[in-house]
Amino acid sequence: MPQYRRNFAPGACYFFTEVTCGRRPWLCLDLARNALRAAIVKVRRHHPFIIEAWVLLPDHLHCLWTLPQSDSDYSTRWRLIKSSVTDEIGHVVGAPSVSLSRRKRGERSVWQRRFWEHTIRDEADFRVHCDYLHFNPVKHGLCIAPRLWPYSSFHRFVREGRYEPDWGSQEIPFGIERVAGE
DSSP string, 6-52: ----TT-EEEEEEEBGGG-S-TTSHHHHHHHHHHHHHHHHHS--EEE
- Mark whether 74 is an active-site residue: no
In sequence order, the 6+-apart residues with CB closer than 8 A to the CB of 19 are 59, 60, 111, 112, 115, 182
Reported as a pLDDT band with limits 50, 70 and 90, residue 93 is confident
> Residue 154 is which amino acid?
F
Reported as a pLDDT band with limits 50, 70 and 90, residue 52 is very high
Residue 123: predicted pLDDT? 97
Residues 134, 152: contact at Cβ < 8 Å?
yes
3-state secondary structure 94-140: CCCCCCHHHHHCCCCCCECCCCEEEECCCHHHHHHHHHHHHHHHHHC
Q: pLDDT: is 102 or 117 the higher one?
A: 117
Q: pLDDT: is 136 or 104 the higher one?
A: 136
Residues 72, 8: contact at Cβ < 8 Å?
yes
The answer to whether residue 102 scores a pLDDT higher than 80 is no
CA pair distance 116, 2, nearest whole angstrom: 15
The answer to whether residue 174 scores a pLDDT higher than 90 is no
Look at 5-9, 79-83, 101-105, 126-130 and tell me which has the smallest mean pLDDT. 101-105
CA pair distance 182, 137, nearest whole angstrom: 13
Q: At what angle do helices 74-93 and 30-46 cross, to 10 degrees?
A: 150
Percent of the chain clearing pLDDT 90 (strictly above) = 76
Residue 104: predicted pLDDT? 57
Reported as a pLDDT band with limits 50, 70 and 90, residue 1 is very low
Residue 178: predicted pLDDT? 73
Average pLDDT over the chain, rounded to an integer = 90
Quick: pLDDT tens for 111-162.
998 899 999 999 999 999 999 999 999 999 999 999 999 999 999 999 999 9
- Which residues are registered as beta bridge partners of 118? 15
Look at 12-16, 88-92, 102-106, 168-172 and tell me which has the smallest mean pLDDT. 102-106
- Which residues are registered as beta bridge partners of 17? 62, 116
CB atoms near residue 124 (< 10 Å): 10
Tell me the three state secondary structure of residue 83.
Answer: helix
Domains with residue ranges and CATH for the chain: 13-178 (3.30.70.1290)
The residue annotated as part of the active site, out of 4, 14, 151, 163, is 151
